[in-house]
Amino acid sequence: MPTSASLAGTDAPAEPGRFGLTIGPVLYHWPRQALMDFYAEAVETPADTIVIGEVVCARRRELRLPDWLALGADLAAAGKTVVLAAQALIETEADLRLLERQAEQTDFAVEAADASALHLLAERVPLVLGPHLNIYSRAALVEHAALGAGMGLGRWVAPVELPLDDIAAINPAADPVCTPAGAPVQTEAWAFGRVPLAFSARCFTARHHHLPKDQCGFRCIEDPDGLAMDTSEARAFLVLNGTQTQSAAVQCLLGEREALRAAGVSRLRLSPCARGFARVVEDFHAVANQGAKAAERLASWAALGVPGPFANGYARRRAGMEWSVTA
Amino acid sequence: MSPPRKPQLVCPAGSLRALQCAVDAGADAVYLGLKDATNARNFAGLNFDDAQVQAGVAHAHARGAQVLMALNTFAAARDPSPWFRAADKAVALGADALIVADTAVMAWCRRRHPQLRLHLSVQASATSHAAIEFYRERYGIQRAVLPRVLTLQQVAQVIERTEVDIEVFGFGSLCVMVEGRCALSSWATGCSPNNAGVCSPASAVRWSEDARGVQARLNDVLIDVYAPDEARGYPTLCKGRFVVDGRRGYALEEPTSLNTLDVLPQLIGMGVAAIKIEGRQRSAAYVEQVTRVWRAAIDRAAVAPERYQVAPEWSHTLARHAEGQQHTLGAYDRPWR
């Protein structure tokens, strides 16, 4: 049985009226030192939870599981709640063995990304329901909340394409879905970052470089925020990140505080970018929890190298790429 | 060791006419969906009302074929009832199995219709035996359709390690993304396979022409530009031409179809239970001709695998129906690795 104190925070609701801030897993292939520097900076941010691990590509090996676990221990010692992320696409026996090893560690909750993870992790570690599980209705969330009853399940990260009014229908603050132990499931929303829109067995970065996936030379390490895929009219549209295809625009719900609260969202997921991220986290804290104005904070990000443009269409039941300003 | 069983040939039926053509051309099973967002081919003018399902079931059952109903999108948060009603309907109308993706729908079926056979849809994105076991243990699924992202060897490993029957795609349009986990269309249009049952919806497509050529747009996003003499495809987002690093091309996938005739004896040898033909959005003539080819191929490969060869007329027939007249083995083949 995991008894580590670091698990305790997983299920704890954010302070009433405050949004918990989660730093999502780094989706890009960054050099080891860049990752270490990133997490050293992340410790100093107001984020209370950090999700670590490689979720995109099994071939990326700047950090291996023991390295992630050691990093997690450091982050936990610095007061952060740490969650290990499972790989998004499970294809091989080696992928399954990695899940097994994640199930065998007892220090951290694991964020499940597919049914393989649900099968191998349930009842073995506390679960976080990741954004790539297709939970689109209250009935589906109830099904998933019943998993791992004995181990605790703290949180559901809503699918990226769900509008806020759907999230409100699924897990409203006034009548939340509860685990069999009676604990309300927290809702986390994708509040900042390029959105992982699709996964493939094919590596699009390797394909672009005319390299086979097995001998890719890890060229994606050259693209710290992904490789831009524009339309023939030079419109920024998507970003290639190995086997993952992301939006070029950064989903940004910084101006949606009241709508998020009304939808029952209590945690905001901030997905790392290569530059300016610590300020992004600070600004989310300032706006979501301290009443600062969103517009001026947003305007300052470009100069820090934060990628853009912004999008918030999904939140409003529109095409994800659309952007309309509030607050 | 007993010889591998002959896999079931599962064919698409976007209309009652297509269903009849498929059954008469030798399909062991057909799959169909209702006229709404509960199935992943939610196109205008396609699919079945109740009376058509009933007629289709009667036609199929009279000829020894099965009808599988696709209920393979995710129940909507604001009103999931159409999905649950569709499951009830499948039972009432005599469908032989339900093809499902959503755990909410599976749970409903287990409670209300414990005898109903459940096939795990490709939209459920189960890419490993562990994932399939999850659905078998909790919801009793009896067959799983594998996403088109695994190599032949990986397919064989899945079959070895699960007691659930495995169905694979044999022919038709190729999704290069893991089915059930692709939101590219909804990013551009607001509609996705998962929540609206449609990818690159026709209502969002716009064609125009100027000096640069014919342009295909999806909700204002330029998906492709065609030279005057160039063949034009449907502007499916992942098969458009985009610019990466200054180079314009098919950054995700060429307009091409999956065709596994070449590896059919291997698929049978490893024990696939069923081979699925894609194309509920295609014509009855497509269904009829493609079914006939695959009926002949499966019969020959199952009975005399050592003498199996792809007949030139099969390839000729299938090439007429392939996207861009191009074929690929997709992830089954090494080049993707």
pLDDT tens per residue across span B32-88: 999 988 988 888 888 999 999 999 999 999 999 999 999 999 999 999 999 999 999
pLDDT at B49: 95
Confidence of residue A6 (pLDDT cuts 50, 70, 90): very low
What is the pLDDT, as a whole number, of residue B255?
79
Share of chain A above pLDDT 90, in %: 87
B177 interface with A at CB cutoff 8 Å: yes
pLDDT at A267: 97
Residue B330 pLDDT more than 80?
Answer: no
What are residue A277's phi and psi, to 5 degrees? Answer: -70, -40
Q: Report helix, strand or coil for A316.
A: helix
Q: Considering only alpha carbons, which residue of chain B is nearest residue A131? A: B181
Which of A25-34, A165-174, A230-239, B316-325 is least confident? B316-325
CA distance B97 to chain A (A): 21
Work out the average pLDDT over A39-67. Answer: 96
Q: How far, in Å, CA of B148 to CA of B276, rounded?
A: 11
pLDDT bin (cut points 50, 70, 90) of residue A9 is: very low
Bridge-based pairing of strands A20-23 and A265-270 is: parallel
pLDDT at site A54: 97
Smallest CA-to-CA distance from A223 within A16, A9, A26 is with A26
| A239 strand-pairing partners | A228, A246
Q: Closest Cα to residue A253, out of A280, A224, A225?
A: A280
Q: Output the pLDDT for position A7.
A: 44
User: Quick one: pLDDT at residue A295?
Assistant: 94
A260-306 pLDDT, tens digit per residue, is 999 999 999 999 999 999 999 999 999 999 999 999 999 999 999 99
Residue A105 confidence (pLDDT) = 95
Chain B touched by A116 (CB under 8 Å): yes
A316, HSE (Cβ side, Cα atoms, 13 Å): 16
Of the candidates B131, B182, B331, the beta carbon closest to that of A197 is on B182
List, edge to edge, every strand of the sheet that includes B221-226: B205-210, B213-218, B221-226
In a mutational test of the A interface, the residue from B181, B214, B217, B241 whose CB has the highest number of chain A CBs within 10 Å is B181
* pLDDT at position A138 over 50: yes
Task: Round the average pLDDT of chain A to a whole number and report it.
Answer: 93
Cα A230 to Cα A24: distance, rounded to the nearest angstrom: 25
**How would you class B297 by CB atoms within 10 Å of its CB: exposed for 0-12, middle for 13-18, buried for 19 or more?**
buried
- Are B77 and A137 in contact (CB < 8 Å)? yes
> pLDDT at residue A308 above 50?
yes
Report, as an integer, the average pLDDT of A166-189.
94
d(CA B184, CA B28): 34
- What CA–CA distances, in Å, run from A29 to A131, A243, A311, B104, B148? 20, 12, 24, 36, 25
**Confidence band of A14 (pLDDT split at 50, 70, 90):** low
How much is the average pLDDT of B169-185? 91
B296 has a pLDDT exceeding 90: yes
Distance of CA A225 to the CA centre of its chain: 15
> What backbone torsions phi and psi does residue B190 show, to the nearest 5 degrees?
90, -10
pLDDT(A70) > 50: yes
Q: Does B227 touch chain A (CB under 8 A)?
A: no
What mean pLDDT do residues A124-140 have? 96
* Option in B102, B149, B188 nearest A140 (CB): B102
pLDDT band at B327 (very low <50, low <70, confident <90, very high): low
Q: Kindly tell me if the per-residue pLDDT of A97 is higher than 70.
A: yes
Contacts of A193 in chain B (CB under 8 A): none
Least confident of A4-8, A223-227, A274-278, B315-319: A4-8
pLDDT beyond 60 at B324: no
Which tens digit of pLDDT belongs to each residue from B239-248? 999 999 999 9
| Range scoring the smallest mean pLDDT among A140-149, B256-265, B319-328 | B319-328
Closest residue to A319, CB basis, from B124, B182, B187 = B187
- For the cut 80, the answer to whether the pLDDT of residue A327 exceeds it is no
For residues A252-284, b (16+ Cβ closer than 10 Å) or e, as one string?
bbbbbbebbeebbbbbbbbbbbbebbbbbbbbb
